[in-house]
Structure 1
Amino acid sequence: MKKVLCIGSVTTDVIVNPADSVPPAGTLRAVDSVTTHVGGCASNAAIDLAKLGVPVALSCKVGSDSFGEFVRGTAAAAGVDVRGVVSDPSVSTTVSIVCVGSSGERSFLYCPGSTSAFQKEDLQEEVWSDCDIIFVAGAMLLSSFDGKSCAAFFREMRAAGKFTVMDTAWDFEDKWLPKIAEAIPCLDLFMPSYDEAVKLSGKKELSEIADFFFEIGAGSVVIKTGADGAYICESREKRYSLPTYRTVKPKDTTGAGDSFCAGFLAGLAQGWSYEESGRFANAVGTHCIMEIGASTGIRSIAEILSFMERTPLD
């Protein structure tokens, strides 16, 4: 099986449930639970891949603080190779306060911290040299890496025979495409969510969005469409939608997109086709939303396949 390197955003997620609104100033409201989890696109995907049973390494930056130790320890305990987790005493570990609404949807209060400080120099050859799939997750949050540095790294990886992949996160600075335009032509696979893809492309129709990314150089495109599953574009000519398990009521959608990416890369790591990988990714994403926390619900590849056999698609 191929090994995956997940690079990029990492957070400690403090999840508040339910949090449908903020109490008026000076007042207090009780909630059902407040829990702490490792979050962030790269760390979520890495932990998910490890729980699935895929060899995986994580490259990110944390602060020299208790949150940073929590990230490192949690990832290592899940089976992730954490040699690429860099501690920097000059920054604090990125933290997200995740407000989970009664519907299962969430909103975030975000302190950028260490994720914004991650840079190309933090990527160690000893970490990426034995990896086959290079996945930058949380692009547009990586202020010191997005753009020229990321593009240069991807060119280096392709020259070394690696398969290059990128996922995006919501750009709270509202700059969007200029942050990653240089990197897209260096990608074998681009996997944004629908909402992020709309902001990046200025288009709303899935086919037009995919055309836009192909025109600027993406090798293939997968657009995550939430409860509708995914739109898979293996090439300009070969495109199709894959439905997901809509009958499963979400407890928490935190990390659902990251778990889809992990599932898709798990398929590719085993040599599966894009269609097989996409169907599996939808099932992994469904397991994510069954539990509170970005990686809590993820099971082994065998358990996910068993779920797929016994559970009808809506």
Structure 2
Amino acid sequence: MRIAITGSIATDHLMTFPGRFADSLVVEQLDKLSLSFLVEELDVRRGGVAANIAFGMGNLGLRPLLVGAVGPDFVDYRAWLERHGVDCGGVHTSELRHTARFICTTDTDQAQIASFYAGAMSEARDIELAPLAAAHGGLDLVLIGANDPEAMLRHTEECRARGFAFAADPSQQLAFADGPSIRRLIEGAAYLFSNEYEASLTQQKAEWSADDILERVGTRVTTLGAKGVRIERRGEPVIEVPVARELRKADPTGVGDAFRAGFLAGLSWGRDLTRCAQLGSMLATYVIETIGTQEYELGRGGFLARFADAYGAEAASEVEPHLGIARA
């Protein structure tokens, strides 16, 4: 099964300020604000929803096609992804803009000052899927993740026009999209991914009920945090899958992306929806145990043991033949 992952590709620049921003603010002078903070730590991490999902799939032994736009500074990041099984043949390189960047400073109160530079991501709207499908032997499923809004709409419309099955995953862009845009992104999706809050926001902005959405998508997948995941299809019983037990909680960033990676891996292997959700939940657990969205490592024996502990020996025996994880 050939799966393309479209969406953002970015780097995160995370800094720590050993003080309180509030101590440097003069309320009466906010209209003339001019501040600089001396930070102690800088952590540069790879990110972007499409890259995170593709990385997770690659770690499970698949070779997803990553589709997005980057700058000429993407060289090292590309090499990293390719070493982890990601096909970067769908990545467009801008001649004018840097790769998207999230720059955030956090103080001792956990207050944050952040900026997001879209950069090359704005050129994702220029990417056409048909030539990529032709060059890579066709596309069985296209995941349309958070990205340049025009790119998301273009990819969705092209999937509908060309008959490519697609998964709608608007996530962070829901806050900025209006009702008509959300309806265009969802209509006809084979899968709709969201967390519980995003599910409610989708219904509110699109002015569609839960039943309305189930009439328009094949499968609705809603992650529920510590309560697991709910899978709904019109006329079918609801499927509920619990989370896998984590060894520790370090950082939840990227957990949703990892869930999607595991879920899509299960689809690629022809597993049923329950098993897909279990795989997603297991991979998400690895991410919550590490700081950074692409810093976890999988070992075949350890993964299978934890999967069996969470979901049973039969579940582990079903996925074992498909895993491309090294035995180390």
Q: TM-score scaled to structure 2, two decimals?
A: 0.78
Alignment check: 8 A CA contact 2:17 2:39 kept: no
**Alignment partner of 1:179 out of 178, 181, 185:** 181
Q: Which has the larger Rg? A: 2
* Aligned: 1:112 with 2:118: yes
Q: Distance in 2 between matches of 1:301 and 1:235?
A: 36
In structure 2, do the counterparts of structure 1 residues 298 and 132 end up closer, same or farther at CA, with 3 Å as the change threshold? Answer: farther
Alignment of 1:122-271 (within 5 A): 122-123=128-129, 124-125=131-132, 126-127=134-135, 129-138=137-146, 141-147=147-153, 149-157=154-162, 159=163, 162-171=164-173, 174-202=176-204, 210-215=210-215, 217-245=216-244, 248-271=247-270
The alignment partner of 1:89 has SS state of coil
246-255 or 6-15, which moves further after superposition? 246-255
Q: How big is the shift at 1:43?
A: 0.8
Structure 1 segments unaligned to the other structure (5+ residues):
none
Count of residues paired in the alignment: 297
Alignment check: 8 A CA contact 1:263 1:280 kept: yes
Q: Distance in 2 between matches of 1:300 and 1:42?
A: 23
In structure 2, do the counterparts of structure 1 residues 245 and 46 end up closer, same or farther at CA, with 3 Å as the change threshold? Answer: same
The alignment partner of 1:271 has SS state of coil
The alignment partner of 2:149 has SS state of coil
Q: How big is the shift at 1:135?
A: 1.2
Q: Distance in 1 between matches of 2:96 and 2:44?
A: 23
Structure 2 segments unaligned to the other structure (5+ residues):
25-34, 313-328
Alignment check: 8 A CA contact 1:259 1:295 kept: no
> Match for residue 4 of structure 2?
5
**Alignment partner of 2:83 out of 77, 82, 90:** 77
| CA displacement 1:53-94 (0-9 Å, x = unmatched) | 112111110122x2x223322212212111111111222211
The alignment partner of 2:187 has SS state of helix
Alignment check: 8 A CA contact 1:256 1:288 kept: yes
Greater helix share, structure number: 2
> Match for residue 90 of structure 1?
96
Alignment check: 8 A CA contact 2:9 2:48 kept: yes
Q: Distance in 1 between matches of 2:19 and 2:245?
A: 23
Q: How big is the shift at 1:236?
A: 4.2
| CA displacement 1:175-228 (0-9 Å, x = unmatched) | 34432312322211111122222222129xxxx96424224x111100122222
Identity %: 22
> Match for residue 39 of structure 1?
47
Q: How big is the shift at 1:107?
A: 9.2
* Aligned: 1:48 with 2:56: yes
Alignment check: 8 A CA contact 2:21 2:107 kept: no
Q: TM-score scaled to structure 1, two decimals?
A: 0.81
Q: Distance in 2 between matches of 1:91 and 1:46?
A: 23
Q: CA RMSD in A?
A: 3.3
In structure 2, do the counterparts of structure 1 residues 234 and 146 end up closer, same or farther at CA, with 3 Å as the change threshold? Answer: same
301-310 or 275-284, which moves further after superposition? 301-310
77-86 or 174-183, which moves further after superposition? 174-183
Q: Distance in 1 between matches of 2:267 and 2:151?
A: 26
Matched to 1:59, the amino acid is: V
